[in-house]
């Protein structure tokens, strides 16, 4: 067994600290964030499970592009303080749809009501002013969206 003298131990510790500090320079804040870009939605249950996990982690959610359909449940699943938007952010809302036994899609009024009730009050109010949840897509973006959610930090607006 080799014994390290006091001077060599200090030098080894300094080298290790330098390596750790150097490695930390490559960690970016966005590594601890969830970025939504061009998410066109899917099954409501899948999104509720996904967002439950994100909510429990406390991660920041960066909306940086389209977030349509079930993706918009992020607004009711994640605390407002953990959501930010970039200049490209868009939320697209419509009624919930289910397929019948022939494969055709039709609005499902029960699921639409459940989805509507999951949205925070400020989203519900905006939807009410824009025709509610129906078959057509209603997009929330720009100034209206920026009044509801804070802008993301400058580096979050960059695409890599």
Residue 136 lies in a domain: yes
Which structural domain range is residue 42 located in?
29-157
Residue 86 lies in a domain: yes
Residue 96 lies in a domain: yes
Beta-strand pair 97-99/83-85: unpaired
Q: Where are the alpha helices (DSSP H) in 37-120?
A: 44-57, 74-77, 109-118
* Cα–Cα distance for residue pair 59/93, rounded to 1 Å: 24
* Cα–Cα distance for residue pair 50/67, rounded to 1 Å: 14
Residue 116 lies in a domain: yes
Residue 47 lies in a domain: yes
pTM comes to: 0.72
Residue 153 lies in a domain: yes
The mean pLDDT value of the chain amounts to: 81
Q: Which two tokens stand for residue 120?
A: 């925070």
Residue 65 lies in a domain: yes
Residue 41 lies in a domain: yes
**Each residue's pLDDT tens digit, 11-51:** 544 544 444 344 334 434 334 789 999 999 888 889 999 99
Domain tally, the chain: 1
* Cα–Cα distance for residue pair 34/32, rounded to 1 Å: 7
**Each residue's pLDDT tens digit, 48-82:** 999 998 989 989 999 999 999 999 999 999 999 99
The residue to which tokens 């930390």 are assigned: 24
């Amino acid at each position: 067994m080799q014994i390290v003298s006091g001077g060599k131990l200090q030098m080894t510790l300094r080298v290790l600290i330098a390596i750790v500090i150097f490695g930390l320079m490559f960690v970016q804040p966005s590594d601890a964030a969830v970025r939504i870009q061009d998410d066109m939605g899917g099954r409501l249950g899948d999104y509720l499970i996904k967002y439950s996990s994100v909510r429990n982690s406390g991660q920041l959610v960066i909306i940086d592009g389209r977030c349509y359909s079930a993706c918009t449940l992020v607004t009711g699943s994640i605390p407002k303080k953990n959501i930010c938007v970039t200049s490209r952010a868009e939320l697209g809302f419509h009624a919930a749809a289910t397929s019948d036994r022939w494969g055709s899609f039709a609005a499902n009024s029960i699921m639409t009501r459940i989805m509507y009730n999951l949205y925070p009050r400020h989203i519900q109010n905006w939807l009410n002013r824009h025709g509610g949840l129906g078959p057509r897509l209603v997009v929330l973006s720009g100034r209206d969206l920026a009044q509801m959610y804070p802008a993301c930090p400058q580096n979050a607006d960059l695409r890599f």
